[in-house]
Amino acid sequence: MAILRKINTKATAQINTGFGINNDDYGGRFVNKDGHPNIEKRGIPYFDRISWYHTMLQMPRWKFLLILFLFYILLNLLFAIIYFAIGIEHLEGIIANTVTEKFGEAYFFSAQTFTTVGYGRISPKGITTSTVAAFEALIGLLSFAIATGLFYGRFSKPKAYVRFSENAVLAPFNNGLAIMMRVAPFKNNNLLDAEAKVTAGIIVEENGLPKNKFFILDLEYDKVNSLTLSWTIVHPITEKSPFYKFTKDDFANTSGEILIFVKAFDDMFSSTVVARTSYTLQELVIGAKFVPMYHRNAEKDKTILELDKLNTYVSTNISHLCPVENEENI
């Protein structure tokens, strides 16, 4: 990627962004598409830098359920092996002939003890087996308490149920150009007082060295009272924009990233929720505009929001506004 050597001096530079300015120390994008910082922490043991509570709350639903299921299966398998090692004769009520059947009976006794169901047909005999069963019941009670807390935490955690368009677009706007990004709510919650902040991170050359420079991008509207439909966040490219007088080649070849942060008030949780993502300049579609996402229904008594059109755009000609670089532009 080319390094931008000239930047619009009228653009508002941002200080203390939390991101490093030395480009040699930075790898890849600043923020991943899912909104998480593109950072890998090292220097202390792995388990010391991981919050298991946050990890279990943030992981995908299928992975969370899979971990609970595997934990249940493997822990019962472990205790079944312990019961089998102590001696199957110490479990009264087992009706089995083969080794496989006996191990199966031990496994299901473990499951009944772990869940404190205790059907009563099989019971421990002897101090060793009874001690193991009592310890397993304790682990079962604690495990279900932790699992219940995690389930509640996942369901009750305030989230910004919004989605961003996969790409930003460079489209005509007010006899000029603008960078546009789209966001829309996709759940049946109500988001009020939504606010957007957009920052551009661009690699520029200072004193012969590449530096990460950050600029505040002015928006057409940075707040909306209610985020009920799609919101196209528009950065007009004016004299105050760091992208002022950019050509198509500049957008295509410059290493840069547009960081977008959206926060809103969720009246169901009575809490502020935040969503964020980023677009590299290579994810900026030049000469495109978003297709409208909402329209009224046939009865003309309701508005339909087509969420599957969030990423839909059509091409538009901006050659007269954003030419390819030539000798006059250099």
- Give the whole-angstrom CA distance, residue 122 versus residue 22: 67
Query: Where does the chain hold its CATH 2.60.40.1400 domain(s)?
Result: 23-40+159-315
* Predicted TM-score of the model (pTM): 0.78
pLDDT at site 324? 74
Instruction: Write down the number of H helices and E strands in the chain.
Output: 5, 16
- Give the whole-angstrom CA distance, residue 243 versus residue 215: 10
Instruction: Report the topology of domain 52-156.
Output: Helix Hairpins (1.10.287)
Query: Where does the chain hold its CATH 1.10.287.70 domain(s)?
Result: 52-156
Residues 129, 134, 135, 139: is their CA dihedral positive or negative? positive
Specify whether the CB–CB gap between 236 and 217 falls below 8 A: no
Pairs from 134-140 (Cβ < 8 Å, separation ≥ 24): 136/79, 136/110, 137/113, 139/75, 139/114, 140/113, 140/114, 140/115, 140/116
Q: What is the pLDDT along the chain (330 residues), one digit of tens a residue?
A: 454 545 665 666 666 666 766 665 677 788 888 888 888 788 888 778 888 888 898 888 999 999 999 999 999 999 999 999 998 888 888 887 888 888 998 999 999 999 988 788 888 898 999 999 999 999 999 999 999 999 998 888 888 889 999 999 999 998 889 999 999 999 888 899 999 999 998 887 777 777 788 889 999 999 999 999 999 999 999 988 989 888 888 888 888 899 999 999 998 888 999 999 999 998 999 999 999 999 998 898 899 999 999 999 999 988 877 777 654 443
Torsion of CA 197, 198, 203, 206, to 10 degrees: -50
- Tell me, rounded to whole angstroms, the distance of Cα 235 from its chain centroid: 24
CATH code for the structural domain at 23-40+159-315? 2.60.40.1400
